Amino acid sequence: MGEVTDVVCSLCGCVCDDIVVEVEDNEVKKVKKGACAVGKSKLMGHGRIKSPAVRERKGEGESGELRECSYDEAIKKAAEILAAARRPLLYGWSSTVCEADKVGVELAEEIGAVIDNTASVCHGPSVLAIQDVGLPSCTLGEVKNRADLVIYWGANPAAAHANHMKRYSFISKGFWTAEGKKAKKLVVVDVRKTATAKMADVFLQIEQGKDYLVFSALRALLYGYEDVVPDEVGGVSKEELLEVVKMMKEAKFGMTFFGMGVTHTGGRHNNIVNAIQMTRAAHTHTKFSIMPMRGHYNVAGINQVCTWETGFPFAVDLSRGYPWYNPGELSATDLLIRRECDAALIIASDPGAHFPGESVRHLAKIPVIQIDPFPNPTTEFADVVIPAAVSGVEAEGNVYRMDNIPIRLRKLVETEYLADEEIVERILQEVRAIKEKEGKEGE
Amino acid sequence: MGTKVNLISGRTIVQGQNLDNKLSEKYFDEVATCEMSKEDLERLGVAAGDSAARVKVRTSFGEVVVKAKENAGTPAGIAFIPMGPWANAVVSGETHGAGMPSYKGIDAEVEKTEEEVLRVKELMQTYKE
């Protein structure tokens, strides 16, 4: 196959689409251009789940061992678990393609499940804030071509979105920003002096959990109420705040990107409401836009799919026969902590690693079906393990970048692993067959 | 005697590189760590450059042993554990009605320990019990 150009990265929300790789003997041999260290690591691959497997338990309370089996057996077992569950949870959906997500919503509807995605532990609060006050946003292309002031707030792209600054923001060169970073300013707001903070023209090192106060102070200053702002807010001096406000007012096009530093902390969606209101305050002076730094490459996509299928982006309960949305009650974390769900399908995510221990404790005790290309902490307690093709390397499909631009992932090599879409579709068909059989027996 | 800190978790580049490689030594070396300022580590009795030093982090939600690591960018009073199973052993599942657990801003107490750091498999085993 040789050199493949315009390869799309399936790691983070940047979804870089200008990568060049070398493919030989049905294997990605080298990433030649375009990918960051994290994306390169994804494209080159890691150790895989070798075979479908089911956990054999000899006695009550035994954790048991995984026994390798066929796809048919694992899919049948998965369907039996889901069809028998009274309160099933279908969780994940961000590191796979929209086509698989669509079938996932159909499965949730069929079995009356709660379907949730990784937004609930990432930018769920941003979604709530956007539902509250809207979002004056733009595409990453507009940021590249127009922005002369970039603010990263509670985000460390140098570690989490390593190509973001180079492709879209501070370091990129665009139509009206041809000089690149020479003609741009960078402001970073964070608790720690991160690698991103070290590059900043102005670094506001705020006290942990004080984001809301600092947003409020900047709003007041942007509206001209200097007299109401005290000498220090959240560990930041008034002089520093005034300096940032001056930069905001003087910018031709300002852009705020915010990360989990804002969503994970006290105040949650209220912080983001305030960040959006700060953007509105800046509109009294100049053009300003704001965007969440979405984490997984298709977390924006599952929010899209879930919204167009059910009306809601995450934490949707389909047990009533119609969609019901209440994140503080129906997020995967809330369901698990209340020990409410009695079975879970985990796809393209790893709650074993990324959920609070309190919720993992319940997940480890109920029947869990895992669909993933790679072994991870969730595998350690999964009862049915179904290996999948790696989307963007072994399977194609549509994903949404962090600015909600759809991009199609490419297939680079052939594989015997099934794609997520086919696995979920086959589970759905098995569930329907079980229900049909039960229906006939009940007649 | 431990020291009180504000615990936060977050991404690092090596954590991201090993997102699909969580059972590896690279992931363990990067993620089972707690970054603190030099002065906080000195207060705990961790000598500068002691790469084998370990600390026990205790919160209302659990306790976990991780390797101690100095980070000049971390202010005094803050402890940073990269997002992953070790941080999550001690963060809070309280979502405050928003669906989002409390991954940052957790009151914690840190002390030096001679106990070993649990591997991923061992840590997950504790949830089955």
pLDDT along chain A (443 residues), means of 10: 94 98 96 95 95 85 86 98 98 98 98 98 97 97 98 97 97 96 97 98 98 98 98 98 98 98 95 98 98 98 98 98 96 97 98 97 97 98 98 98 98 98 98 94 79
Angle at B8 between CA B3 and CA B10, to 5 degrees: 145
Going by C-alpha positions, the residue among A123, A196, A119 that lies closest to residue A155 is A196
User: Model-level pTM?
Assistant: 0.97
Instruction: Output the CA torsion A329→A331→A332→A334 (10° steps).
Output: -30
* Residues 6+ away with beta carbon under 8 Å from A308: none
- Could you please report the per-residue DSSP string of A264-314? SSTTTHHHHHHHHHHHHHHTTTSEEEEEE---BTTHHHHHHHHHHHHS-SS
Give CA–CA dist A71/A369, Å, rounded. 13
SS3 A150: strand
- Amino acid A58: pLDDT: 67
Q: Tally C-beta pairs within 8 A across A and B.
A: 191
Chain-chain contact of B78 with A156 (C-beta, under 8 angstroms)? no
Tokens 């069929």 locate to A110
Question: What 8-state DSSP symbol labels residue A181?
Answer: G
Chain-chain contact of B16 with A159 (C-beta, under 8 angstroms)? yes
The angle, 0 to 180 degrees and rounded to 10, between the axes of the packed helices A98-111 and A420-442 is: 20
Q: Which of A193, A194, A357 sits opposite B127 (nearest CB)?
A: A357
Give CA–CA dist A233/A204, Å, rounded. 11
What count of residues does chain B have? Answer: 129
- On whether the CB atoms of residues A402 and A293 are closer than 8 A, the answer is yes
Regions in chain B scoring below 70 on pLDDT: 1
Give CA–CA dist A251/A248, Å, rounded. 5
Give CA–CA dist A238/A150, Å, rounded. 20
- Amino acid A61: pLDDT: 61
Instruction: Indicate the helix (H) or strand (E) that contains B107.
Output: strand B104-113
Q: Are strands A114-117 and A316-317 parallel, antiparallel or unpaired?
A: antiparallel
Across chain B, how many H-helices and E-strands are there?
5, 6
Query: Could you tell me where the beta strands, DSSP code E, fall in A145-213?
Result: 149-153, 185-190, 202-205
Q: Which of B13, B105, B128 sits opposite A209 (nearest CB)?
A: B105
- Cβ neighbours, 10 Å, residue A236: 20
Give CA–CA dist A260/A258, Å, rounded. 7
Exposure string (b/e) for A382-403, b if CB count within 10 Å is 16 or more? bbbbbbbbbbbbbbbbbbbbbb
- Amino acid B49: pLDDT: 86
* Among B20, B91, B102, B122, the residue to mutate for chain A (most A Cβ within 10 A): B20
Give CA–CA dist A145/A241, Å, rounded. 27
* Among B5, B15, B19, the residue to mutate for chain A (most A Cβ within 10 A): B19
The one-letter amino acid code at A173 reads: K
| Chain A contacts in chain B segment 20-39 (CB below 8 A) | 20-24
Adjacent-strand bridge partners of A398: A408
Going by C-alpha positions, the residue among A12, A213, A280 that lies closest to residue A122 is A12
Residues of B in contact with A128 (CB under 8 A): 98
Give CA–CA dist A180/A132, Å, rounded. 35
Map out the domains of chain B with their CATH numbers.
3-128 (2.40.40.20)
Query: Could you tell me where the beta strands, DSSP code E, fall in A183-234?
Result: 185-190, 202-205, 232-233
Considering only CA atoms, give the Rg of chain B.
14
Map out the domains of chain A with their CATH numbers.
2-44 (no CATH), 53-121+297-442 (3.40.50.740), 124-292 (3.40.228.10)
Residues of B in contact with A194 (CB under 8 A): 73
Chain-chain contact of A374 with B8 (C-beta, under 8 angstroms)? no
Residues of A in contact with B80 (CB under 8 A): 192
Give CA–CA dist A222/A281, Å, rounded. 6
Torsion sign across C-alpha atoms B73, B78, B83, B87 = positive
Q: Which of A197, A331, A381 sits opposite B99 (nearest CB)?
A: A331
State the greatest distance between any 2 C-alpha atoms of chain B, in Å, as a whole number: 43
